[in-house]
């Protein structure tokens, strides 16, 4: 198992390098100058600017600059935010947990919807339940997250006044009220993301289960006299999950996109809203770092998918 | 060929009327067969109707409803739908029907253009990978997988942030943003098409009819263009349909985050972005814009589902 993991980790390295090259190329091709701020400042004479350029190595060839940037990134030197005057890694570490909690909770919700609904629908194909579930899934993944978010705010915050629509990291309460306050403000963002993901996963689960349910070994399991619950849980679902894991891993970039939008709507202080605010404030080091963190997260989740793969299908894991 | 019995009746080329009915079996073209299958998916047909209505409305609507999109009228701020303003007005008293129709043109045009770009790039990459084996194939597939694991929305935002101003200077604010958004969205959506086309090429390349063409001395280009590509088209059309919906959502997301088209160009996403601060006083504003995006995306997805049924010959109906 550890050898398998190690190999997967080694495969992830070229992808990370590729992503870093793409990121750096975009930045290098972009018009504009990281010292543009200084150029507009009349107090800085042109000679000083030229000296600064020389000092920071901006006149070097592209590949030298890339290698230097890569070394700095890998040593944890992520730069300095122009706007908040803090180190970028501090800023990101402050906000990353919130993002991960919201994304994680919504994925759990999506799984809790998709697995039972998809399996139940596939074991009774073309029944009324299947048709209703199918239609709802179609509607669910055609609804963009920003629209669902707005409709949720309209219903639960504006009309019913049940839930707050601005996320606050500090809640001045203690004990039970503190926990409840956090749960209450997380309900809508998690529901928006989770329902969207759950809708598309339901379709994946349904078609995967449908593929497995007619195979011979399922008939054998039934013929042995196993309980229907055991057949479904141990024989059907476990095997059907293998293609679902692949599809879910492929969906991860979309999940992070949805998280950025959701954080922006509900003003959650995570890295997604950090990205938007730093783009609007021209804070280049933060933008680069957050984009890179998102890329790392996508690769991390692909890695987790690979591990799950090995657990679901023992034939794969030790090869 | 002369003297042999034809399987299908001979058809008069000009009129399409059978002139000699030797065999009673009707000749069914692939297109007609696909249409027959598509018609059986009732929701897909309904969706096609809805989408056509929306396209007609945004293309020809402004010719009938001649209210300018930027006529500011502070006497009619945030009004609910009425006869003077069928969809109500926004915070500057601008007519929402006119703005919705204008925005619909842009949103749908972005969707179609980005889909075209994604399909062209994807088909090209997939075809090159599928024809050439070995190193080229492996390299292209590594690139495809790399693009699949890129965080798309952050990169979209990054590219638009970096290149927006310089493109605006070259092509003007509206055209520049349009080109940038189409290229970037299309550039991040070609991967599924490339994979599909490559997989199709791998199976079609070894079929008898391609081998026959090869034996007759057809060049690689002719084999690909005349024999393999037309047969690989079905899944590509389905993927392309879904791409239109995804591109519309991507454009609306960008506009919704305030990083799409400039504020004076009302795309559906932009209207929703402007409306979100007035949810308590003018919910109709947000609901119409979001509803239009939702309806367009839903009907395109259903059409894709219907096309999947129609174009998959293995599917028995």
B99, B271 contact by CB (below 8 A): yes
Q: Do B280 and A143 touch (CB under 8 A)?
A: no
A278, A286 contact by CB (below 8 A): yes
DSSP 3-state of A80: strand
Chain A nearest-CA residue for B254: A261
Q: How far apart are CA A293 and CA A155, in angstroms?
A: 34
CA distance A274 to chain B (A): 11
Q: What is the pLDDT of residue A268?
A: 84
Helix (H) or strand (E) holding B78: none
- Of A144, A150, A253, Cβ closest to residue B151: A253
- Of B142, B155, B279, Cβ closest to residue A154: B279
Residue A294: its chain B contacts at CB < 8 A? Answer: 151, 154
B157 to chain A, any CB pair closer than 8 A? The answer is yes
Span A143-158, average pLDDT? 85
DSSP 3-state of B10: strand
What integer best gives the mean pLDDT of chain A? 81
CA distance A229 to chain B (A): 31
Q: What is the pLDDT of residue B289?
A: 84
Of residues B15 and A222, more confidently modeled: A222
Span A157-164, average pLDDT? 77
Q: What is the pLDDT of residue B3?
A: 42
Q: What is the pLDDT of residue B116?
A: 93
Q: What is the pLDDT of residue B317?
A: 44
Per-residue pLDDT at B94 exceeds 70: yes
Q: Do A260 and B153 touch (CB under 8 A)?
A: yes
Residue A252: its chain B contacts at CB < 8 A? Answer: 149
Q: Do A151 and B290 touch (CB under 8 A)?
A: yes
Q: Do B297 and A144 touch (CB under 8 A)?
A: yes
CB neighbourhood size of A92 (10 A): 20
Chain A nearest-CA residue for B270: A146
What integer best gives the mean pLDDT of chain B? 80
- Of B154, B280, B301, Cβ closest to residue A294: B154
B263 to chain A, any CB pair closer than 8 A? The answer is no
Q: What is the pLDDT of residue A56?
A: 63
CB neighbourhood size of A72 (10 A): 12
Q: Which CATH class is domain B91-300?
A: mainly alpha
Comparing C-alpha atoms, which of A257, A289, A295, A287 is closest to residue B147?
A295
Of residues B317 and A174, more confidently modeled: A174
Q: What is the pLDDT of residue A23?
A: 82
Q: How far apart are CA B232 and CA B203, in angstroms?
A: 10
Chain A nearest-CA residue for B247: A144
Chain B nearest-CA residue for A297: B151
A287 to chain B, any CB pair closer than 8 A? The answer is yes
Q: How far apart are CA A266 and CA A191, in angstroms?
A: 12
Chain B nearest-CA residue for A302: B149
Q: What is the number of residues in chain B?
A: 317
Give the pLDDT confidence of A283-294 residue by residue, as tens digits. 777 888 888 888
Per-residue pLDDT at A310 exceeds 70: yes
Question: E strands within chain A?
Answer: none
Comparing C-alpha atoms, which of B106, B263, B103, B92 is closest to residue B181?
B106
B162 to chain A, any CB pair closer than 8 A? The answer is yes
Residue A281: its chain B contacts at CB < 8 A? Answer: none
Give the pLDDT confidence of A85-136 residue by residue, as tens digits. 778 888 888 888 888 888 889 989 999 999 999 998 888 888 888 889 988 9
What is the pTM for the complete model shown? 0.82
CATH, domain A88-312, list 2.60.40.420, 3.40.50.11890, 2.60.40.10, 1.10.3720.10 = 1.10.3720.10
Q: What is the pLDDT of residue B112?
A: 92
Per-residue pLDDT at B19 exceeds 60: no
Per-residue pLDDT at B266 exceeds 70: yes
Q: What is the pLDDT of residue B115?
A: 92
Interface test mutation site (partner A, options B153, B169, B189, B291, max chain A beta carbons within 10 A) = B153
Span A139-168, average pLDDT? 82
Per-residue pLDDT at B16 exceeds 60: no
Per-residue pLDDT at B2 exceeds 50: no
Residue A15: its chain B contacts at CB < 8 A? Answer: 145-146, 149
Hey, what long-range contacts does A124-133 have (CB within 8 A, 24 or more apart)? A125/A210, A130/A206, A133/A202, A133/A206
Q: What is the pLDDT of residue A123?
A: 85
Give the pLDDT confidence of A54-80 residue by residue, as tens digits. 666 666 777 787 888 788 877 777 777
Q: What is the pLDDT of residue A57?
A: 63
- Of B150, B166, B283, Cβ closest to residue A31: B166
Give the pLDDT confidence of B103-146 residue by residue, as tens digits. 888 889 999 999 999 999 999 999 998 888 788 888 888 888 88
B278 to chain A, any CB pair closer than 8 A? The answer is no
Looking at chain B, list the stretches that DSSP marks H as alpha helix, in order from N- to C-terminal side: 30-39, 42-64, 96-131, 135-148, 152-171, 173-187, 191-204, 208-215, 220-222, 229-256, 268-275, 283-311
Q: What is the pLDDT of residue B7?
A: 46
Q: What is the pLDDT of residue B181?
A: 87
Q: How far apart are CA B136 and CA A275, in angstroms?
A: 36
Q: Do A287 and B158 touch (CB under 8 A)?
A: yes
Q: Between A and B, how many CB-CB pairs are < 8 A? A: 131
Interface test mutation site (partner A, options B43, B146, B147, B149, max chain A beta carbons within 10 A) = B149
């Amino acid at each position: 198992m550890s050898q398998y993991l190690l190999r997967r980790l080694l495969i992830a390295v070229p992808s990370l390098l590729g992503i870093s090259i793409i990121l750096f190329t975009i930045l290098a091709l972009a018009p504009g100058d990281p010292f543009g701020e200084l150029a507009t400042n009349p107090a800085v004479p042109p000679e000083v600017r030229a000296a600064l350029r020389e000092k920071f190595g901006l006149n070097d060839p592209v590949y030298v600059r890339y290698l230097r940037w890569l070394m700095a990134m890998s040593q944890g030197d992520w730069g300095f935010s122009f706007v908040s005057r803090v180190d970028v890694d501090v800023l990101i570490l402050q906000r990353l947990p919130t993002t991960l909690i919201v994304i994680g909770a919504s994925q759990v919700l999506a799984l809790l919807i998709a697995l039972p609904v998809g399996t139940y629908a596939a074991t009774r194909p073309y029944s009324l339940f299947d048709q209703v579930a199918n239609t709802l899934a179609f509607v669910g993944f055609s609804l963009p997250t920003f629209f669902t978010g707005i409709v949720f705010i309209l219903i639960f915050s504006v009309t019913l006044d049940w839930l707050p629509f601005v996320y606050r990291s500090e809640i001045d309460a203690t004990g039970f009220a503190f926990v409840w306050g956090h749960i209450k403000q997380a309900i809508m963002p998690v529901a928006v993301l989770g329902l969207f993901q759950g809708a598309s996963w339901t379709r994946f689960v349904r078609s995967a289960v449908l593929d497995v349910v007619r195979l011979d070994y399922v008939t054998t399991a039934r013929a042995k006299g196993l309980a229907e619950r055991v057949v479904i849980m141990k024989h059907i679902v476990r095997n059907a999950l293998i293609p679902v894991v692949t599809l879910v891993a492929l969906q991860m970039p979309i999940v992070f996109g949805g998280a950025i939008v959701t954080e922006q709507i509900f003003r959650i202080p995570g890295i997604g809203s950090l990205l938007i605010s730093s783009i609007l404030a021209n804070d280049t080091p933060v933008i680069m770092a957050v984009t890179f963190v998102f890329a790392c997260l996508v690769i991390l989740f692909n890695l987790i998918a690979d591990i799950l793969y090995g657990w679901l299908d023992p034939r794969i894991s030790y090869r | 060929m002369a003297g042999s019995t034809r399987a299908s009746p001979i058809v008069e080329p000009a009129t399409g009327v059978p002139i000699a009915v030797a065999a009673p079996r009707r000749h069914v073209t692939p297109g007609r067969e696909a249409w027959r299958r598509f018609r059986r998916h009732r929701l897909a047909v309904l969706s096609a109707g809805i989408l056509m209505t929306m396209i007609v409305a945004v293309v020809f609507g402004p010719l009938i409803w001649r209210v300018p999109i930027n006529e500011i009228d502070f006497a009619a701020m945030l009004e609910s739908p009425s006869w003077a303003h069928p969809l109500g007005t926004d915070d500057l008293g601008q007519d929402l029907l006119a703005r919705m129709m204008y925005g619909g043109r842009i949103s749908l045009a972005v969707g179609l253009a980005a889909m075209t770009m994604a399909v062209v790039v994807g088909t090209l990459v997939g075809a090159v990978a599928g024809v050439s084996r070995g190193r080229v194939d492996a390299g292209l597939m590594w690139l495809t997988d790399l693009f699949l694991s890129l965080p798309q929305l952050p990169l979209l935002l990054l590219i638009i942030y970096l290149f927006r101003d310089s493109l605006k200077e070259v092509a003007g604010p509206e055209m520049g943003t349009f080109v940038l958004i189409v290229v970037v969205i299309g550039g991040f959506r070609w991967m599924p098409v490339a994979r599909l086309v490559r997989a199709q090429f791998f199976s079609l390349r070894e079929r008898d009819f391609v081998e026959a063409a090869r034996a007759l001395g057809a060049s690689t280009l002719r084999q690909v263009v005349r024999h393999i590509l037309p047969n690989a088209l079905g899944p590509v059309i389905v993927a392309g349909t879904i791409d239109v919906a995804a591109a519309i959502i991507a454009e609306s997301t960008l506009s919704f985050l305030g990083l799409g088209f400039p504020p004076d160009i009302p795309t559906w996403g932009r209207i929703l972005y402007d409306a979100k601060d007035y949810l308590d006083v003018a919910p109709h504003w947000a609901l119409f814009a979001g509803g239009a995006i939702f309806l367009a995306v839903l009907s395109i997805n259903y059409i894709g589902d219907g096309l999947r049924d129609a174009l998959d010959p293995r599917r028995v109906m």
